[in-house]
Amino acid sequence: MAESTGPTKVWTTLITNNAYLPGLLTLEYSLRKTNSKYPLLVLYTDSFPADGHAALDSRGLMKKRVSHLSPSQHKDYTNDPRFYDCWSKLTPFSLVEYERVVQLDSDMVVLQNMDELMDIELDPPAMGVTGNRVFAASHACVCNPLKKPHYPKDWIPSNCAFTSQHSTPDEAQTTGAPCIFGIGQPNGGLQVVNPSQAIYDKIISQLDEASTSNYDFADQSLLSDLFRGRWVPLPYIYNALKTLRWKGVHDTIWRDENVKNVHCILSPKPWDEAEKESNDETHEWWKDLNAERVREELSRGVKDGFQVNYR
């Protein structure tokens, strides 16, 4: 399908290679299954291969080429190589042909309609970089439950915004902790944006600063540095990091029935596991939706190598 700019509000997701394509296709299916009124626009870089394009085209998905973003001062992400591509997740701020963009990571699945994100109040583009509602996102969890040694030393439960909500779990379902709590860093997996050339220009300018070499988490570190205290905190239900559900992490606030969007962070991804290999129930949710997606596509006559049923 040719690149399209028809809608005024879109979901977007970034793809740079085929490794995340099963996730992307299942994400798109989950948006349709939950009756979203808005389409998914796939943002691809030049590294995305031909068979990946064929998969998108055969399913009629909207797509748009974007440039690969990277800072002038590179940081070594050997321990987390995915971060080398994450800078391009800042692209939605530049998509001024749209009124509203909600960026989603491809390792997410939507369980309940969340179209209300297309209407929450953010600064209008005319305000440029002067407002206090520059974008909306959920907090990053800074508990480091896997005790990864290369994570910052201040990534501990007492600095985590979700820990601050353990005493008010009902409120945590509808309200995010203050955006300046603890580390004050958003998770980059879901970003609600009113595209603005002024904001994008400021982001690009920041990519040229030497400070980017200190950004442990690429795009989300940049956003938290550049717009500290000036973003809208969403409740966890819109970017429900699978680790929050783990016993002893933030299971105090997690409620399966309220979660709208699950984020299968870390490795392995659900599609990288052998059948019945997973010990994480959220991966089973993904596999259920993926199996539905495969059946639906085959019923429409779509058939290619990206229809593995992981059941």
**Which structure tokens are listed for 101?**
């963009």
Any bridge partners for residue 140, and if so which? none
Tokens of 13: 């997701």
- Cα separation, 170 vs 193, in Å, equals 27
pLDDT score of 45: 97
Q: Flag whether 106 is in a domain.
A: yes
CATH assignment at residue 80: 3.90.550.10
Q: What is the pLDDT of residue 242?
A: 98
Query: Residue 139's domain spans which residues?
Result: 9-299
Contact predicate 270/264, CB 8 Å: yes
Domain assignment present for 310: no
Strands 100-104 and 190-193: antiparallel
How do residues 108-138 score in pLDDT, each as one tens digit? 999 999 999 999 999 999 999 999 999 999 9
Residue 304 lies in a domain: no
Residue-level pLDDT at 74: 76
135, 74, 19, 28 alpha-carbon torsion, rounded to 10°: 10
User: Is residue 311 situated within a structural domain?
Assistant: no
Q: What are phi and psi of 185, to 5 degrees?
A: -115, 130
Please check whether residue 221 lies inside any domain of the structure: yes
Torsion sign across C-alpha atoms 26, 32, 33, 36:
positive
Q: Is residue 207 part of a domain?
A: yes
One pLDDT digit (tens) per residue for the chain, 311 residues: 445 447 999 999 999 999 999 999 999 999 999 999 999 999 999 999 999 999 999 999 999 999 999 998 877 777 766 777 899 999 999 999 999 999 999 999 999 999 999 999 999 999 999 999 999 999 999 999 999 999 999 999 999 999 999 999 999 999 999 999 999 999 999 999 999 999 999 999 999 998 898 999 999 999 999 999 999 999 999 999 999 999 999 999 999 999 999 999 999 999 999 766 778 999 999 999 999 999 999 999 999 999 999 88
3-state secondary structure the chain: CCCCCCCCEEEEEEECCHHHHHHHHHHHHHHHHCCCCCCEEEEECCCCCHHHHHHHHHCCCEEEECCCCCCCCCCCCCCCCCHHHHHHHHHHHHCCCCCEEEEECCCEEECCCCHHHHCCCCCCHHHCCCCCCCEEEEECCCCCCCCCCCCCCCCCHHHCCCHHHCCCHHHHCCCCCCCCCCCCCECCCEEEECCCHHHHHHHHHHHCCHHHHHCCCHHHHHHHHHCCCCCEEECHHHCEEHHHHCCCCCCCCCCHHHCCEEECCCCCCHHHCCCCCCCCHHHHHHHHHHHHHHHHHHHCCCCCCCCCCCC
Q: Is residue 28 part of a domain?
A: yes
221/274 Cα distance (integer angstroms): 33
CA distance 109 to 30: 6
Number of domains in the chain: 1
